Structure 1
C-alpha cells in the first residue's frame, strides 16, 4: 500500500505540550491522522494528512444506525530510544473481526500495520518520555453513505488518530471501588458485546453515571440473561485471585476478548500461576470475599493495563477485598506487563514490536 503524505508548514503544527506530567487521556491530538476511503467495493486514497474534522452528510449511515467500530493500542518510548508497539497484530485482527460482525469491509492486516507504523513515525515528536506516558492510537471505521433505511453502508472511512496520554495512576497504584449493576446490562449473548463498537459503550453510560453518583469508580456488569454471572468491569475484563489461581469469566459471546486479558493469562501461566476461564457467579464472588478464598481482584485493559479492585458494592452492602490494598499477584502482573511494554524487561512472548527510534 502506497500512502500519500501531506507535508505541514511550521505554522500549521500544533504546539507540543509543555508538561508531560499533566497529560490526560484523549484530550489533545497530534498534527496528523491517517485516512482511507472505501467506495465501489475497494479501499482507496490512503493518506497521512492534517488532523481535521470530517464533513459528513446529515443522513450518513453512522449517524443514524451506528455502523461504527474502533480499536485502541499504545506506542511506548523505551529508555534506549526504541519506539515500541504492544501486540498490534492482535488489534488489527480484532478490528477485522468487528468489521465482519457489523457487515463492514475488512482491511488487510499488513495494511493496518503499515498505516499505524508510518503514522506513529511521522508523529514521533509527540511521543512522551516520562514513566507511564505513551501515545494512544485510535483506529476506527465509520459508515458514510448518505441514506435512511436499515441496511449496511456501501461507503466507509477508516482513520487513525493519536493522542499523547499521561500516566494512568498519577496518584499511585491504588484499588478502585466497584458498583455491581444488577438492573441494566451491557450486552447479551448473540449481540455485539464481543466486538468493539460504540453502541456497547453508549449502552453502558447510564449505569456508569449511577455508579459515579454513588461514589464508585466503575460498574461490574452481570450477564444479560440471569443477572447472575460476572462479565466485564467498566470497559475492562475482570479477574479474581483465589490463592494461587487466577480466574476470569470465560468468553461466552457477550464479553470482549481483551488483548490485555489474553496477555495477563499467558503471563500468569509463564510465572507459575494456575489460570482458569469459567463462569463466575456474583454469589460465588461475595462468598469468596467473605471467606477469604478470593484474595485479590483486578480489571485489565489497554488504558490502565491492570486496575486493582478494593471493594464491591452489591445489594446495599459493601464488601472489601484484601483490606482495600493492592495484592502481591496484582502488583507482580502489573509490573511485569508494564516492563515488557516499555522494553525494560525481556519479552519472552514476542509481543513487543519495534517500529523505529525517536
Structure 2
C-alpha cells in the first residue's frame, strides 16, 4: 500500500509540531468525555509522572511500601498488582488501569475524529495534520507503560470505548518487547559486517544498555545489561547560559563515562563488540546537532559533539570506535520501518511519536523480537 503523505515529516525528520503532549481533549461532539479528561493535554493524561502520583495515592490499597520502592519502579508493581490474588489490591490496580486506558482512548478518539473544537485548541496544526491522523491505519504502542498486564488492560479499555462510540478503530499492536524497541531500532543501523553491537537508549529517567547479537544477518536478540539512572537532564530554568553550559558539560562527561564503562564491562563479560556504537537518545537531532531541553543542552557545547565524544571515548578505551546518535522516536520507528501507514507511540516520561519509513541499509529483525 502506498505511504500516506505525512505533513509531520520534513526531509524524513519529525517537525517541531509533531508532539502529542500538547494535544488537548476539549470535547467530542455526541460522545460524553470523562470529566478527568476534558480540557487536559496529552502529557497530563499519559505521563509516567502522573501515573506514579496516582499509584502513590492508592499505595495503601495496593499494599505498597513506598519507602522501599523507587518511584520509577512503581509502574512495575502496578503490573504485579493487576495479577494479585488479593481482591482489594487487584481491583485498585484495575481502576488505575481503566483510568489510564480511557485517557489514551480519548486521545485516540480526538485524533481519529478531528472535531473542530479540538482543532481550534491546536493552532499549530493545519487541516492536513488532522487529515493525516484520520487516515492512519496502524498504531504500534511501545514503552514501559505498555508492557505486561497493564498493556493488555490498556488495549481492552481502548477497544471498549471505540466500540461504545461506534468509531472506526485504528489497528493497534502492542510491542512484544516494548522497553527494548528504541534499542532494536538503533541496532538496525549496525554495519552489515557487524555481529555484536553495543547499543544504548538514553532516556529522561533511565539509561538502558544492551549487546545486540546478529545471526545470519538478522538481529536475533539483545542481551540486556542493568539500567542506569539518567543524570543532568532535568529541564530546569537556568539563571544564564554559562550555568546551563556547566550542566551540559556534566551531562557530556556522564555520557562518556557510561559508554566507556559499559564497553569495558561487555568486553570483560562477553566479547569485543564491533567498532560502531548506536545510541538512541531522548532529544531532537538535526544533522547530528542537539537542540531543545533535557539532552538538548549538549548543543551549547559544540556543533560536532558526536566527534568530540568519539575522540574522548577512544582515548579511554584505547580503541577506534564510531558513535551514532539517533532520536529515540526515530529509532523506535525504525524497528517497524516496513509497516505501512503507521505511527509509533511510546509512553514513558512523555508521549513520543515516531513514523516508520522504509530505509535502505537497515538490518533485518527476527520476528521473535517484534
Task: Flag the structure with higher helix content.
Answer: 2
**Is the strand fraction higher in 1 or 2?**
1
**What TM-score results when the alignment is normalised by the length of structure 2?**
0.28
TM score, norm. by length of structure 1: 0.29
